[in-house]
Amino acid sequence: MQTPIIRTEKLIKQFGGNRAVNGVSLDVASGTLHSIIGPNGAGKTTLFNLLTKDFPPTSGRIILYGEDITREPPHAVARRGVGRSYQITSVFQNMTLAQNVWVALYRRERQGFLNFWRHADLDASLREEATEILSRVRLDERTDRLASELSYGDQRLLEIAVTLATKPRVLLLDEPTAGLSHEETESVSRLIAALKGRYSILMIEHKMDVVMGVSDRVSVMHFGSMIAEGTPEEVARDPEVRKAYLGS
Amino acid sequence: MNPKTPRRDLLLRTALLAAIAAVSPLLMPTKIAAEILICAIFACATNLLIGYGGLFTFGQAAFYGLGGYAAGFLMARFGLPWPVPLVAGLLMGAVSSAIIGAFCIRRTGIYFIMMTFAFNQMIYYLAYTFRNITGGEDGLVGIKRPPFGLPGMKPLNLDNPTYFYIFVAAIFLVSVLALFRIVESPFGRVLVATRENPRRVASLGYSVSRVQLVAFMISGAFTGLAGALYAMLYWIMPIDAVHWLSSGYVVFTVLIGGTSNMFGPIIGAGIFIWLQGFFSTLWARWPLLFGAFVVIVVLFVQGGVIELFRRLAGLLGGRERAGAS
């Protein structure tokens, strides 16, 4: 088998007396869309926070394309090509759409931030690329608007655009449709379907219809542990999953 | 954005700053006008951290004081050419803020503020203790302004108030233009992003602590430079300048003027020094007036006095410009 793009080995995160992530071993195969489902409080977002090193794990290992990243700081993990979108929208509210994308592009294309003299907007190639990336999520008509002026759904699209601008090797999407209306969910789902195959994607999602249609593999998390993994059909049939997650 | 806009902004900005520097001494004694410009450099440097970095430092006086002592010590003891004390103040500010900043940025929110405050107090008591260098409570006295000269030019005596004012105004112009450019540079934009959402900036591959540390150093360098000029202004470096009250005043100055661009702190410096310069001679309790001013601005003009100018410009048909970036 190919080296998995992300592998975790017996990952544990302890918060006081609560073990939010309890010995999770997970393999995400390259090029696939792998979803993690589970009830609220199952530890899904905490698992993501461990993968991006927002928190250090209590024990266990995280391996990215065969390399151990368990001890690396968050920005180093990002530089290895892990792009993430957050559950709570994380755009730069008081910056324009183009500037939001620019921050991601600049890191990737120009290396470092120690340029003090050039005006940031004078780099024509970055400007064009920002517009191109925004056009992928159909926000290129509003490049000079502030992010705070966008609707919640459009902010989520912007956030995904910013993540794509880092040219990630693997995308971590944390509930990309959380809090969205029906139409907005549709448009984000279409975007995810379009991204599938071009990126390796690990996605946390609550809405079953979003997950089942698009995922190659589904893992089910419950009380910090993985209780099942398989194709969407296998998982949907699993009696334990039905008991834990679907409540039937 | 139109690629010509930065050029037009630069011209406009240079003209405005030059006009401020040229008109101020007509409205008030040159000594007070010079103090406003020095305070404006200090406030603009502080605004890099507060307004652009979202780092609410209450310890800037440490760098101001250290810069002033470094420059003042050299000017009091040795007759060195004019760039030496200025560079000494600038370097002292940069190095001390790198060391202190490296500790402070490890914490956020109230703990960050407390750290900057604690370091400021430590520096104050060091200045108090090492009186053979700093003069302790009496201040560092005997400072001599070096003559100003350039190659192929007859040296000017900076003890002449007009020459000294022009000297300060030139450094003010260069410093503030540099700070304006820095906040528009790639570095400045990344710094604004760390203010908006530090976690997101890290997830895009930047080391947030490194960005913040560089911001601290730049701010400290210009603060130290302002301190060096202050040591020249009254031929004395008083210990009050390094007291944390001075850190508090500069934060007020920035907030009164407004943090959204570098003109805000300049306006704030004008108001602060003017109130101090005029009312302190009429009324010993003048900080009461200053306090009332802070309350009024914070309650009614959120975003500082600069916000009034913006609204005015908006009314006059100029399109409001977006963001603080």
Query: Could you give the percent of chain B with pLDDT greater than 90?
Result: 77
Q: pLDDT at position A208, please?
A: 81
The residues that bridge with A11 in the sheet, in sequence order, are A24
Parallel/antiparallel/unpaired status of strands A200-204 and A170-174 = parallel
* Mutation for B interface: A54, A82, A85, A116, most B CBs within 10 A: A116
SS3 content of chain A, % helix, strand, coil (to 5): 40, 25, 35
Question: pLDDT class for B317, splitting at 50, 70, 90?
Answer: low
Residue B133, pLDDT above cutoff 80: yes
Tell me: pLDDT of B280 over 80: no
| pLDDT greater than 50 at residue B323 | no
With cut-offs at 50, 70 and 90, classify the pLDDT of residue A89: confident
pLDDT, tens only, A189-203: 999 999 998 999 999
> Do A137 and A163 form a contact (C-beta atoms < 8 A)?
no
CB atoms A103 and B325 under 8 Å: no
- In 3D space, the residue among A132, A48, A37 whose CA is nearest the CA of residue A87 turns out to be A48
Average of pLDDT values for B58-68? Answer: 97
pLDDT at B166 over 90: yes
CB of B176 within 8 A of CB of B262? yes
User: How many residues would you count in chain A?
Assistant: 248
Residue with the larger pLDDT of the pair A117 and B183: B183
Handedness of CA B291, B296, B301, B305 (dihedral sign): negative
Q: Where residue B325 falls among pLDDT bands split at 50, 70, 90?
A: very low
pLDDT band for position A17 (cuts 50, 70, 90)? confident
Mutant choice from A79, A95, A123, A142 vs B, greatest count of B C-beta within 10 A: A95
The stretch A100-116 carries a mean pLDDT of: 87
Residue B89: what pLDDT?
Answer: 98
Give yes or no for residue B318 having a pLDDT over 70. Answer: no
Query: Which of B200, B203, B322 is facing A96, going by the closest CB pair?
Result: B322
C-alpha of A128 from chain center? 25
List, for residues A40-64, the tens digit of each pLDDT value.
Answer: 888 999 999 999 999 999 999 999 9
The answer to whether the Cβ–Cβ distance between A118 and B190 falls below 8 Å is no
Q: Which two tokens stand for residue B42?
A: 């200090």
Q: Which of B266, B271, B276, B308 is nearest to B20 (CA)?
A: B266
pTM of the entire predicted model: 0.91
A90 and chain B: CB distance < 8 Å anywhere? yes
Residues 18..47 of A with a Cβ closer than 8 Å to B: which? Answer: none
